[in-house]
Chain A
């Protein structure tokens, strides 16, 4: 079945370490997105990519980096510059031929101690 795989489901890191969250999709979707979900804040857009080798900053890109070397993959790195990295991270994808076929992954809960 087609879908988005985020791994791992839970991730623990020490403060000051960079950490990379994986997002893979087999839906042949062109666009991929990273959101951060915090209680009472909804989902806030971190980065998105509409095509391979191109990506744009979202509303809260500071302290994060991404790459889009393959259509299927859009990893997110949470750097040590991110002041409050503990959160739930959601990856999504959509087709650029239709703008409503969003698919969300199951998320990664990152805890920085």
Chain B
């Protein structure tokens, strides 16, 4: 079955701490991988995406993620978080075939204290 597993339900960090949010997926075939962020009261925004090529992808606001095919993982990282990073983060996967639906993880809530 196609699924996405996000390891942490709620992460609490102090400003300037480093962040790593885990994401593992189960999906047959070649995949596209995504991280979305939802700030309180706002819409989903795309942080970054991986389709092919360099497995280390950089996104907006200093975030990056690494695709490790052998581990079926796509972990999100940021070297130094800010209070404004407080949000819910969703990992998602779909297949390379156009028009395939995104499958989302359950999300990780990040709380950053100043």
Chain A residues with CB under 8 Å of chain B are: 30-31, 33, 35, 40-45, 48, 50, 58, 90, 92, 94-100, 102, 104-107
The interface residues of chain A lying within 8 Å CB-to-CB of B106 are 40-42
Q: Is the CB of B101 within 8 A of A99?
A: no
Q: Is B114 an interface residue (CB 8 A)?
A: no
**Looking across the interface, which residue of chain A has its beta carbon closest to that of B107?**
A42
Q: A99 to B94, Cβ gap below 8 A?
A: yes
Closest to A34 in B: B101
Size class of the contact patch on chain B: 20 to 34
Interface centre among B43, B99, B105 (most CB of A within 10 A): B99
CA distance A98 to B32 in the complex (A): 11
* Interfacial residues of chain B within 67-92, with CB under 8 A of chain A in the complex: 90, 92
A79 to chain B, nearest CB (A): 21
| Contacts A100-B32, A104-B44 given; does A58 touch B107 at CB 8 Å | no
- Inter-chain CA distance A100–B101, complex, in Å, is 10
18 A-B residue pairs with Cβ-Cβ distance under 8 Å, sorted by A, are A30-B99, A31-B98, A33-B101, A40-B106, A40-B107, A41-B106, A42-B4, A45-B101, A45-B103, A94-B99, A95-B98, A98-B98, A99-B32, A99-B100, A102-B34, A102-B46, A104-B44, A105-B43
Within the complex, the shortest CB–CB distance from A15 to chain B, in Å, comes to 27
Known: A99-B32, A102-B46, A104-B44. A42 touches B98 (CB 8 A): no
B35: Cβ under 8 A from any A Cβ: no
